[in-house]
Chains A and B, each alone.
Chain A
Amino acid sequence: MGGEEAMTAGTQPETARMTMIQAINSALDVVMARDPDVLVMGEDVGYFGGVFRATAGLQAKYGKTRVFDTPITETGIIGVAIGMGAYGLRPVPEIQFADYIYPALDQLVSEAARLRYRSAGEFTAPITVRSPFGGGIFGGQTHSQSPEGIFTHVSGIKTVIPSTPYDAKGLLIAAIEDNDPVLFFEPKRIYNGPFNGHWDRPASNWSQHPGGAVPTGYYKVELGKAAVVREGEGVTVLCYGTMVHVVANTVADMGVDAEIIDLRTLVPLDIDTIEASVKKTGRCMIVHEATRTGGYGAELSALVQERCFYHLEAPIERVTGFDTPYPHSLEWAYFPGPVRIGQALKKIMKDA
């Protein structure tokens, strides 16, 4: 886990076991304590502490003018946050589910993403939009979506997706302190524990996972830097969010010598880590929950093809959600789980 800024020489920071929710809550707490201009807003985030508890206790600690509930209007939430950013604050608005970010698309795409460019830096939108995303929770069509590809297509927005409590806290602090607008998608399937893709087996929690050890104080995980979760020689697997754990488990089960890269930041992308890995392994597989066509995997595939063409020994594989709305009862047929990832691994490794 790279980019650990505050872990200064000689001092071991105090750590605690945290879930991803607790880590996010801790990030907000730490950064609000350091910077009086940081402010949290969104539906149910105030008194109640958020429908996922991510903002629990913050209003009591920092007061209602820094942590407050909003009307149910996503475009209003983001538009108001942009105005607050223009004033000089550093707002962290929450969109309750990424599936409900679309009413705010105009404010995000036309305003937040363009404000610095169109005003030649006179005005900026240093906002961090937190939003739970991804499936695997029987969320059906409107509580499961992964819309990251819509935003990675927009110039001027950074897109960040953590896969562990440690990264969630470090990346969120970095995102809030970043002067560009950041979309921070939180994989809600792994809020309370890593998910190996086997929905029919007992759920695990973060207490045993190395990523569940989280410094209680301030630290950052640098945006734009991927993490190599597992080093390997046979194939490079590019993934992020929940899929990091599903991939890791499937790779371990199959005994494939895969190099698993958790992208962590989609824009700006850590191209150097990807390029070095694929040139080493000669194979590349891309895994995401989002639908396939026009998804971020297509961009990854194109980049790898352009940069590693002469090193590729097999076609690039994409394992993604299908090009359908996210279904309810057929969730595990839709979700790119161990079976589909396993089949794709077999296919890409067949001539190895």
Chain B
Amino acid sequence: MAGHSRANLPPLSLHVPEPRFRPGDAVDFNGFDVPPAGAARRPDTGDAPADFHELSYGLVRVLDDEGHAVGPWDPKLSPDLLRRMLRSMVLLRAFDERMFRAQRQGKTSFYMKARGEEAVAVAAAYALDADDMCFPSYRQQGLLIARGCSLVDMMNQIYSNTGDKLGGKQLPIMYSEKRFGFFSISGNLTTQYPQAVGWAMASAAKGDNRIAAVWCGEGSTAEGDFHSACTFAAVYRAPVIMNVVNNQWAISSFSGFAGAEATTFAARAIGYGIAGLRVDGNDALAVYAATMWAAERARLNQGSTLIELFTYRAEGHSTSDDPTQYRSAEESGAWPLGDPVVRLKDHLIALGEWSEEQHAEQDKACAEEVRAAQKAAEANGILGHGLHQPLDSLFDGVFEEMPWHLQEQRQQMLDEEEASGRPWARK
């Protein structure tokens, strides 16, 4: 024991973080420090991770308030690519809207939107090669849409219908699309982080040139797997891009409960010896440029990059969530980094490559495309309308070959259904 008396010390106090705005509070982001677009330095991909302090605490931004692309991170994309990115983001938003409504109509059990975070997934998808492997969380459906996955296939999964190639075994939105380099989504948070690092290590060990990218939310960085993955990534210089989508909210918990009061999520990279970038997640060009930079770093065997994508979860966590219970309703509208779709649209208009009329037309076209897809998907059934898979298929795929105990349970189930006389007992 130290030789001093504790009589004169104040009692300890436990700090429990509290978000700035709760329901009913007026929202004022005036104190919010938004670094100007173009201000962040663009380092060489080979630079030592220890030199990324300022980039880990700053914010890489390309699009300024007038919609101009400025600074060293401007990826100088062709208008055609910009338009394709914008279209993917608009299509994603239309898809989300429609599927959210489908859940409300009882056509499926569950949905999760990515509103406000469209750039995070879509711009990254355009910066990666089509055969780079993505390990998404549940809010990167934009990867699938940008990579050209059929909306009908996605909806079939959401409806767990006869067209669902996962056979109705997975909760809606837990897609698996190997063809599109989209790893099977798990409900368990951040488990995909070390898996992505492992995939990248395997690619390196085999002398391949494909890289891996992985996403989690800022809330899930508190999981132990995040730490394990960062350690592995650093130790083996794995060709992996580790994205942290900091949308400020983990269901009802604000980012302070993941440690955001004390540091940034990009800054965690410094301790691991990984290059860390903090990026305006609502700036599609910044997301694209950072992803491209990190991909180049990975491809050149220079190691992994941790990218914090600073954004805002504009809607509820899921169809089961009501955000008005824990945050101010004004917050989303007042978010200082704006709306990623609007910002990219304004950029294209500023370039003279787009117009409000074209945009409105595209909105309509995307809504129509989604509507048509929905019609096609619903022809395969919706969740509420009985079973769409043979009962005994529930035993398929536990193992490569079905062992006796599963065969026995399957037979018992079929016999019981047969005996019950219920009409849906069919093989």
Chain A: interface residue total (CB-CB under 8 A): 48
Residue-wise interface mask of B (208-234) relative to A, using a CB-CB cutoff of 8 A (1 in contact, 0 not) = 000010000000000011011101100
Could you tell me if B191 and A106 are in contact, using CB atoms closer than 8 angstroms?
Answer: yes
Could you tell me if A116 and B400 are in contact, using CB atoms closer than 8 angstroms?
Answer: yes
Question: Does B265 touch A at the CB level, under 8 Å?
Answer: no
Could you tell me if A116 and B194 are in contact, using CB atoms closer than 8 angstroms?
Answer: no
Question: Does B193 touch A at the CB level, under 8 Å?
Answer: yes
Chain B interface: which size bin? 35 or more
Question: Does B198 touch A at the CB level, under 8 Å?
Answer: yes
Question: Does B9 touch A at the CB level, under 8 Å?
Answer: no
Q: Please name the residue on chain B nearest to A157 by beta carbon.
A: B399
Residues of chain B within 8 A (CB-CB) of A66 are 205
Nearest-neighbour CB distance to chain B for A83, whole angstroms, equals 3
Q: Please name the residue on chain A nearest to B230 by beta carbon.
A: A76
Q: Please name the residue on chain B nearest to A81 by beta carbon.
A: B198
Q: Please name the residue on chain B nearest to A265 by beta carbon.
A: B403
Partner of A89, one of B177, B193, B202, B232: B202
Q: Please name the residue on chain A nearest to B240 by beta carbon.
A: A83
Residues of chain B within 8 A (CB-CB) of A124 are 400
Residues of chain A within 8 A (CB-CB) of B202 are 83-84, 87-89
Could you tell me if B224 and A103 are in contact, using CB atoms closer than 8 angstroms?
Answer: yes
CB contact list, A97-142 vs B, under 8 A: 103, 106-107, 110-111, 114-124
Q: Please name the residue on chain B nearest to A181 by beta carbon.
A: B399
Residue-wise interface mask of B (150-192) relative to A, using a CB-CB cutoff of 8 A (1 in contact, 0 not) = 0000000000000001110110001011100001101110010
Residues of chain A within 8 A (CB-CB) of B146 are none
Could you tell me if B184 and A119 are in contact, using CB atoms closer than 8 angstroms?
Answer: yes
Most buried by B among A80, A81, A114, A224: A80
Question: Does B197 touch A at the CB level, under 8 Å?
Answer: yes
How distant is the Cα of A118 from the Cα of B212 in the complex, in angstroms? 21
Q: Please name the residue on chain A nearest to B408 by beta carbon.
A: A271
Nearest-neighbour CB distance to chain B for A179, whole angstroms, equals 5
How distant is the Cα of A336 from the Cα of B169 in the complex, in angstroms? 42
Residues of chain B within 8 A (CB-CB) of A123 are 176, 178, 183-184
How distant is the Cα of A46 from the Cα of B135 in the complex, in angstroms? 28
Residues of chain A within 8 A (CB-CB) of B231 are 71, 73, 76
Could you tell me if A75 and B195 are in contact, using CB atoms closer than 8 angstroms?
Answer: no
How distant is the Cα of A255 from the Cα of B195 in the complex, in angstroms? 53
Nearest-neighbour CB distance to chain B for A197, whole angstroms, equals 31
Residues of chain A within 8 A (CB-CB) of B184 are 115, 118-119, 122-123
Q: Please name the residue on chain A nearest to B165 by beta carbon.
A: A120
Nearest-neighbour CB distance to chain B for A229, whole angstroms, equals 22
Question: Does B203 touch A at the CB level, under 8 Å?
Answer: yes
Question: Does A180 touch B at the CB level, under 8 Å?
Answer: yes
Could you tell me if A79 and B225 are in contact, using CB atoms closer than 8 angstroms?
Answer: yes
How distant is the Cα of A298 from the Cα of B198 in the complex, in angstroms? 37
Q: Please name the residue on chain B nearest to A86 by beta carbon.
A: B199
Question: Does A95 touch B at the CB level, under 8 Å?
Answer: no
Could you tell me if A122 and B176 are in contact, using CB atoms closer than 8 angstroms?
Answer: yes
Question: Does A245 touch B at the CB level, under 8 Å?
Answer: no
Partner of B397, one of A71, A81, A116: A116
Nearest-neighbour CB distance to chain A for B403, whole angstroms, equals 3
CB contact list, A118-172 vs B, under 8 A: 118-124, 155-156, 158
Residues of chain B within 8 A (CB-CB) of A73 are 224, 227-228, 231-232
Question: Does A82 touch B at the CB level, under 8 Å?
Answer: yes
Residue-wise interface mask of B (91-134) relative to A, using a CB-CB cutoff of 8 A (1 in contact, 0 not) = 00000000000000000000000000000000000000000010
Residue-wise interface mask of A (225-267) relative to B, using a CB-CB cutoff of 8 A (1 in contact, 0 not) = 0000000000000000000000000000000000000000001
Nearest-neighbour CB distance to chain A for B255, whole angstroms, equals 23
Residues of chain B within 8 A (CB-CB) of A83 are 135, 194-202, 212
Partner of A79, one of B194, B235, B400: B194
How distant is the Cα of A91 from the Cα of B398 in the complex, in angstroms? 20
How distant is the Cα of A9 from the Cα of B195 in the complex, in angstroms? 43
Residue-wise interface mask of B (410-422) relative to A, using a CB-CB cutoff of 8 A (1 in contact, 0 not) = 0000000000000
Given that A89-B205, A110-B188 are known contacts, is A84 also in contact with B198, CB under 8 Å in the complex? yes
Q: Please name the residue on chain A nearest to B135 by beta carbon.
A: A83
Could you tell me if B404 and A271 are in contact, using CB atoms closer than 8 angstroms?
Answer: yes
Nearest-neighbour CB distance to chain B for A291, whole angstroms, equals 23
Could you tell me if B198 and A79 are in contact, using CB atoms closer than 8 angstroms?
Answer: yes
Q: Please name the residue on chain B nearest to A70 by beta carbon.
A: B232
How distant is the Cα of A267 from the Cα of B193 in the complex, in angstroms? 29
Could you tell me if A119 and B232 are in contact, using CB atoms closer than 8 angstroms?
Answer: no
Nearest-neighbour CB distance to chain B for A222, whole angstroms, equals 12
Could you tell me if A114 and B183 are in contact, using CB atoms closer than 8 angstroms?
Answer: no
Q: Please name the residue on chain A nearest to B175 by beta carbon.
A: A119
Could you tell me if B194 and A86 are in contact, using CB atoms closer than 8 angstroms?
Answer: no
How distant is the Cα of A178 from the Cα of B169 in the complex, in angstroms? 23
Question: Does B405 touch A at the CB level, under 8 Å?
Answer: yes
Question: Does A28 touch B at the CB level, under 8 Å?
Answer: no
How distant is the Cα of A247 from the Cα of B202 in the complex, in angstroms? 44
Could you tell me if A118 and B169 are in contact, using CB atoms closer than 8 angstroms?
Answer: yes
Question: Does A39 touch B at the CB level, under 8 Å?
Answer: yes
Residues of chain B within 8 A (CB-CB) of A84 are 198-199, 201-202, 205
Question: Does A45 touch B at the CB level, under 8 Å?
Answer: no
Could you tell me if B169 and A268 are in contact, using CB atoms closer than 8 angstroms?
Answer: no
Nearest-neighbour CB distance to chain A for B232, whole angstroms, equals 5
Question: Does A308 touch B at the CB level, under 8 Å?
Answer: no
Partner of A118, one of B186, B193, B198: B186
Residues of chain B within 8 A (CB-CB) of A107 are 191, 194, 225
Question: Does A290 touch B at the CB level, under 8 Å?
Answer: no
How distant is the Cα of A158 from the Cα of B338 in the complex, in angstroms? 51
Nearest-neighbour CB distance to chain A for B43, whole angstroms, equals 27
Could you tell me if A122 and B178 are in contact, using CB atoms closer than 8 angstroms?
Answer: yes
Nearest 5 interchain pairs by C-beta: A83-B198, A79-B194, A76-B228, A80-B198, A268-B403
Interchain Cβ contacts under 8 Å between A and B, 9 examples = A70-B232, A79-B195, A80-B194, A82-B195, A83-B199, A120-B166, A122-B184, A123-B178, A268-B403
